[in-house]
Chain A
Amino acid sequence: MRNADDMTDPKRSAPATSSRSVIRAMIWATVPVLLVVQLLASAGVELASFWSQIRQLDARIARVAESRGELIAEPLWKMRYDRVTSVLNEIMHDETISAAAVYDDTGVAIARVVARPSDQSVSEVSRPITYINDNIAVQAGRIVIAYSYATVYADTGSRLLLLLVVGLLATFATLIAMRISANIFIGKPLAAIMSAIQRSKQDGRAYPAEIKSLNEFGQLARAFNAMQHTTSGALDRLGHMAAHDPLTGLPNRRSLSEQLVTLSHHAGSPDSLIAFCFIDLDDFKGINDTFGHDAGDKFLVHISERLRHAIEPQDWVARLGGDEFVVIRPEVSNAATAQAFAHQLLDAISKPVRLHDKQVVPRASIGLAVRRAGDPELSHLPALADIALYHAKSKAPGTVAVLDEALQHDYRRRRDLELAIPTGFSEGQFEVWYQSQVDIESQAVVGLEALIRWRHPEHGIIGPGEFLPLIERSGNNAQLTRYVLTDACRALKHLVAAGRPQIRIAINLPPSELADHSLAAELRATCLRFGVAASSLELEITEGSLINNIASASETLHRLRRLGATIALDDFGTGYSSLAHLRRFPLDKVKIDKAFISEIPDSAEDKAIVGVIASLAGTLGLTLVAEGIERAEQAQAMREMGVTLGQGYLYHRPQPLEAVRQWLEGQPGSRVLAESPSIAPEFAA
């Protein structure tokens, strides 16, 4: 029953009107033409017939006149006028003749007959009457017949009327026939196809158009049905493709949001717990690089298969893209079972895989978030799990990190800071603090390192370790560098004014700045603006920034050096600690990382390392700076190993410029610098 209703309904509504309009247009296009042509043709034929009848009548009357004339000739000539009249009378049976007269050769009417009063369109024919016998042929007189076209007009009129009526009837019949046949042959098939389209539009499934005939519409319907079939298959595939990852066949990111909606709607109870595992493969890039992308794809397929096998039927697994997977378990009893499930997944992933005949042990980190099904923020589950994953990746790769309050707090703080960066710049919340570098031997201040701080209105003073990655990620590195540079130049100006022109200021350059060729020119311009020598600036770089773009970094460093600035290699010993770098790049200083200093003098190993570095620097002509000197015995150890400069809390904590200036005023003067000419021998020249 319901099917039947479905079948008839759409036919009656939209398709019916559209098909009717096509038929109406057809009818309007053909029927008036038909009618006009028919009427014109019949009128034309009738007109021709009318003229022919007129001519025929003229000819007939002329023949009558001639034949009567022949009959009348003898009685007329022989003056038998009664017979003339009777012969003339005979022709009055012809109803088209209204009057007739015979005149003799003197022009006098011998006989005259009037049948009916002459009405419209009376025509006359006049014929001479010739009497012929053996001896003579004379004109005995003339016969004149008046006749009327009235019968012809009446005949033609009635025939025209008949033709009009027949034409109208024929047109009407044609109209009906066209309506019926068009409905049968056009309207119905169109309606059937339209109905199929409407139903397909409603639920996206392919409905065939029910047309059995073999004509063009039958062919169209078959083609339509074939196309419907093809299209619906393609749509199914397209829908599947849109919702699934082509490589692994798992649902994709798009499916995830739908799945979350489904979860919130179909959960057993609002309090049932949903475990959301965000899985990220560790070092998948390494696998791609090592084994190639095909192997990488194969690897991903392996992982997806393992995840599929590791889950229960009610669970849901998806690949979000790259090496990211999501597994959702819709009902877990508590957080602990959720965590156990996550570990179970991790174990499944971590079994060795064979790639190119080599055993590879996949590693992954999992961010786990557990939420109640009724949680209004259920849609945030991926983001929450991502926070946990971020934590796991950054703190303990290859483990499961469970989202807790602390992680969420960290996440929120990170987000707050990230969002506050533009305001920080505009409101001058970033401050440059300075920490002194001291000659370990003489205790004289030889330079200051500019260190950035964020005086946040809510979070207070924030160290660069927390916000610099955020700045770098937000693309504000260059702005911050310019900011520091400007501040440093201003500080240098103050130092010169305070009679301390020998103090240098060191600036940390982030890796991205080394690739910026305009840095040297800007540095020069800024120095000019403040009237300070570029040689008073020291630029600190890390080994990491050198490795990423060796050629470009080398170019920038050379330019800076040509301006007179000195270059220092920061945090030496923690990274590659490449000796080649020390030789290849134009370096003036090497700063030993505080990690090596903190255990000194207790750690013999650290002492040995520092000693080697010191002797190497001495050989290469590089000045050494020990960072993080907090105790006097550390300073003593450095001095013994030949490290000339030191930096750390033992000497001075980082402070705003004003505090540093006040502190400097209590320090010995400029002679210290004069006593230590070995700082930058090249610049003296």
Chain B
Amino acid sequence: MTMLLRILLAVSMACGVLVPSGGAVAKPLNIVFVNPGKTGEVYWDMVALTMQAAGRKLDAHVEVLTSERNYRTMQELGLGVVARPDKPDFLILSNEESAAVPILEAAEAAGIKTLLLSNTLIGEDAVRLGPPRQKLKTWLGDITTDLETAGARMADALISAARAEKWQSPDGKIHILGIGGDEITPASIARNAGLKLAADSAPDVVVDRMLFANWTQSEAEQVTANYLSWATRKGIRPAGIWAGNDPMALGAIKAISTAGLVPGEDIQVVGLNWSEDALRAIRAGRLLLTDGGHFLLGGWSIVLLRDYADGCDFATNSSHVEVKTSAISRANLGSVGDLIKDRAFDRIDFARFRAKPGRCGQYDFSIDALVSSLAPPEGTAD
């Protein structure tokens, strides 16, 4: 229901925006995005929303197809798009669980240009298919976030907080629990690698376990409860919980409360995604920080494709566009909190982020640039 409404809304907004600027720039673009996530899954919802908001700003019609976290459905949707008689200009895919590869190959056959978002080719696929635009001519490239750095930044914040509070266990070490989403997707692997990187470089830190909770809050709550119980038996004082996304961080917080501990006072939790609930938890002091902002990849991908369609190819710099994430803590919560809370992504002036003529492929997608691009919210109460 809501998705349909949103699509209708997006289409109507796009039509409304496109009419005045249609003559000024080149032809309008027809873009299809096969969303691997579930409806209500904050990150992918926000990716789609920013993608559509950017489309409205950059004269591109963005069609979002949701596969509801079912990779078979995702493949069916993708292959269905490829088989359409009226083919789109661009197809945006996310290679979660490496499920986008068949679609990518089918699109190559159909001559549809593709962009991989968030998850690119890995492992054998990367070796077999090589870099973009070589074997697969229509695969233009990918836009990803540097989640490893994000994971490391989250861990560092956790360790600093624990050090400051002197939450060492009897063995003198700071004991941390890691909760990853899964062990397969590059997005998860990168975050987890960041945690490992940070922990390895801190000799006083021990990651007791790297647990996996399928990105979900309830499973994270369960494993956290298990961990806390185990830690008690082991005589360990748990200092922090590193969660691969915000729902899992919130699950961990719930388990901590259930175990009789006070999150933020007895133990710190970090999450990722800039989710609304996370922002609320930060405000309540139960969550140390949430890293992220990578849902803006949706908007940034439209920026790249607009530039590409207008002859300024992002591959001039690199076909692999990597966007840094940023952490929101209590310190900077106010500037982007409303944006996320209201999902008022039309406040972002995406046209400002297009590459300057002669500097194709060079983009500034930083949080500062974002903040400065924001139009004041409608009804600015605060």
Within 8 Å CB of B226, what residues of A? 79, 81
Using Cβ atoms and an 8 Å threshold, which residues of chain B touch A207? none
Least Cβ distance of A135 to chain B in Å?
Answer: 8
Q: Does A104 contact B (CB under 8 A)?
A: yes
State whether B209 touches A79 (Cβ < 8 A).
yes
Contacting residues, chain A, for B210 (C-beta < 8 A): 78
Question: How distant is A274 from chain B, measured CB to nearest CB, in Å?
Answer: 139
The secondary-structure label for the interface of chain B is helix
A208 to chain B, nearest CB (A): 100
Give the CA-CA distance A132 to B233 in the complex, in Å. Answer: 22
A527 to B110, CA, bound (A): 181
Judged by a CB distance under 8 angstroms, whether B128 is at the interface is: no
* Complex Cα spacing A108 to B233, Å: 9
A77 to B227, CA, bound (A): 10
Chain B neighbourhood of A159, CB < 8 A: none
Collect the chain B residues with CB atoms within 8 Å of residue A81's CB.
226
* Beta-carbon contact of A78 and B212 below 8 Å: yes
Residues on B with beta carbons closer than 8 Å to the beta carbon of A79: 209, 211, 223, 226-227, 230
B47: min CB distance to chain A, Å: 28
Task: With A78-B223, A80-B223 as known contacts, state yes or no: A106 contacts B230, CB within 8 Å.
Answer: yes
A82 within 8 A of B: yes
**By the criterion CB–CB under 8 Å, are B223 and A77 in contact?**
no
Does A104 contact B209, Cβ atoms closer than 8 Å? Answer: no
Q: How large is the interface on B (under 10, 10 to 19, 20 to 34, 35 or more residues)?
A: 10 to 19
Give complex CA distance A78, B180 in Å: 11
What per-residue 1/0 map shows which CB atoms of B312-344 lie under 8 Å from chain A?
000000000000000000000000000000000
B205 → A minimal CB distance (Å): 15
Q: How far is the CA of A78 from the CA of B211 in the complex (A)?
A: 5
Which B residues touch A78, using CB under 8 A? Answer: 209-212, 223
- Contact between B230 and A104, CB atoms less than 8 A apart: yes
Q: Give the residues in chain B near A105, CB-CB below 8 Å.
A: 234
Docked-complex contact B209 and A77, CB < 8 angstroms: yes
- B222 within 8 Å of A (CB atoms): yes
Residue of A nearest to B225 (CB): A79
Interface SS of A by simple majority: loop
Interface size on A, residues (CB 8 A): 10
Q: Nearest Cβ in chain B — how far from A408, in angstroms?
A: 146
A106, B227: Cα distance in complex, Å:
12
Could you mark each residue 85-126 of chain A with 1 if its beta carbon is under 8 Å from any beta carbon of chain B, else 0?
Answer: 000000000000000000011101000000000000000000
Contact with A along B205-236 (1 / 0, CB 8 A): 00001111000000000110011001001100
Interface centre among B210, B223, B226 (most CB of A within 10 A): B226
Question: In the assembly, what is the distance between CA of A80 and CA of B222, in Å?
Answer: 8
Assembly CA distance A80 to B234 (angstroms): 18
Contacts of A80 in B (CB 8 A): 211, 222-223
Contacts of B234 in A (CB 8 A): 105-106
Docked Cα-Cα span, A81 to B230, in Å, equals: 12
Give the shortest distance, in Å, between B211 (CB) and chain A (any CB).
Answer: 5
Q: B209 to chain A: which residues have CB within 8 Å? A: 77-79
- Identify the closest chain A residue to B232 (Cβ): A106
Q: Does B233 contact A106, Cβ atoms closer than 8 Å?
A: yes
> A144 vs B220: C-alpha distance in the bound complex, in angstroms?
28
B151 to chain A, nearest CB (A): 16
Q: Considering the chains assembled together, what is the distance between the CA atoms of A95 and B31 in angstroms?
A: 60
Closest CB in chain B relative to A673 CB, distance in Å: 172
Complex CA–CA separation, A170 to B232 (angstroms): 69
* Residues of B close to A77: CB separation below 8 A: 209
Minimum distance in angstroms from B331 CB to a CB of chain A: 33
A88 CB to closest chain B CB, in angstroms? 16
Mark contacts of B338-363 with chain A using CB atoms, 8 A cut-off: 1 yes-contact digit, 0 otherwise. Answer: 00000000000000000000000000
A658 to B20, CA, bound (A): 217
State A82–B225 Cα separation when bound (angstroms): 13
Contacts of A106 in B (CB 8 A): 230, 233-234
Residues of A contacting B227 in the complex (Cβ-Cβ under 8 angstroms): 79
Interface centre among A78, A79, A81, A82 (most CB of B within 10 A): A79
CA distance A481 to B350 in the complex (A): 189
CB nearest to B227 among chain A residues: A79
Find the A residue at minimum CB distance from B235. Answer: A106
Q: How far apart sit A81 and B228, CA to CA, in the bound complex (Å)?
A: 13
Q: How far is the CB of A102 from chain B (nearest CB, A)?
A: 13
Q: How far is the CA of A105 from the CA of B210 in the complex (A)?
A: 16
Nearest chain A CB to B133 CB, angstrom units:
33
In the complex, what distance in Å separates the CA atom of A104 from the CA atom of B211? 15
Residues of A with C-beta under 8 A to B233: 106, 108
Q: How far is the CA of A667 from the CA of B127 in the complex (A)?
A: 190
A108 to B230, CA, bound (A): 9
Looking at the assembled complex, report how far the CB atom of B278 sits from the nearest CB atom of chain A, in whole angstroms. 23
Question: A82 to chain B: which residues have CB within 8 Å?
Answer: 222
Which single residue of chain B is at the shortest CB-CB distance from A82? B222
Please name the residue on chain B nearest to A77 by beta carbon: B209
- In the bound assembly, the distance between CA atoms of A77 and B230 in angstroms comes to 11
Write the chain A residue with the least CB distance to B183.
Answer: A133
**Would you give the 0/1 interface string for B160-192, flagging 1 where the beta carbon is closer than 8 Å to chain A?**
000000000000000000000000000000000
CA–CA, A372 and B371, complex, Å: 178
Query: For the complex, what is the distance from the CA of A80 to the CA of B211, rounded to whole Å?
Result: 9
Look across to chain A and name the residue whose beta carbon is closest to the beta carbon of B234. Answer: A106
A78 CA to B230 CA, complexed, in Å? 11
What CA separation (Å) do A466 and B245 show in the bound complex? 169
Q: How far is the CA of A609 from the CA of B369 in the complex (A)?
A: 210
**In the complex, what distance in Å separates the CA atom of A108 from the CA atom of B212?**
22
Contact with A along B265-305 (1 / 0, CB 8 A): 00000000000000000000000000000000000000000
CA distance A104 to B229 in the complex (A): 11
Q: Give the shortest distance, in Å, between A27 (CB) and chain B (any CB).
A: 75
Residues of A within 8 A of B222 (CB): 80, 82
For the complex, give the distance between the alpha carbons of A79 and B210 in Å: 10
With CB as the reference atom, state the residue of chain A lying closest to B226.
Answer: A79
Q: How far is the CA of A105 from the CA of B229 in the complex (A)?
A: 12
Residues in A whose Cβ lies below 8 Å from that of B212: 78
- Name the CB-closest residue of B to A81: B226
A104 contacts which chain B residues (CB < 8 A)?
Answer: 230
* Residues of B238-272 whose CB lies within 8 A of A: none
Q: Give the nearest-CB partner of A140 in chain B.
A: B209
Q: How far is the CA of A105 from the CA of B227 in the complex (A)?
A: 12
CA distance A108 to B234 in the complex (A): 11
The distance in angstroms between the C-alpha atoms of A270 and B149, with both chains bound, is 159
Which residues on the A side are within 8 Å of B223 (C-beta)?
Answer: 78-80
CA A310 to CA B98, docked complex, whole Å: 146
Considering the chains assembled together, what is the distance between the CA atoms of A82 and B223 in angstroms?
A: 10
Chain B neighbourhood of A108, CB < 8 A: 230, 233
A106 to B209, CA, bound (A): 14
Identify 4 new A-B residue pairs, CB closer than 8 A, beyond the known A79-B209, A79-B223.
A78-B210, A78-B212, A80-B223, A104-B230
Q: List 7 A-B contacts (CB under 8 A).
A: A78-B210, A79-B226, A79-B230, A80-B211, A80-B223, A82-B222, A106-B233
A interface, CB within 8 angstroms of B: 77-82, 104-106, 108
A-B pairs with lowest CB-CB distance, top 9: A79-B226, A106-B233, A79-B223, A78-B211, A79-B211, A106-B234, A79-B227, A81-B226, A108-B233
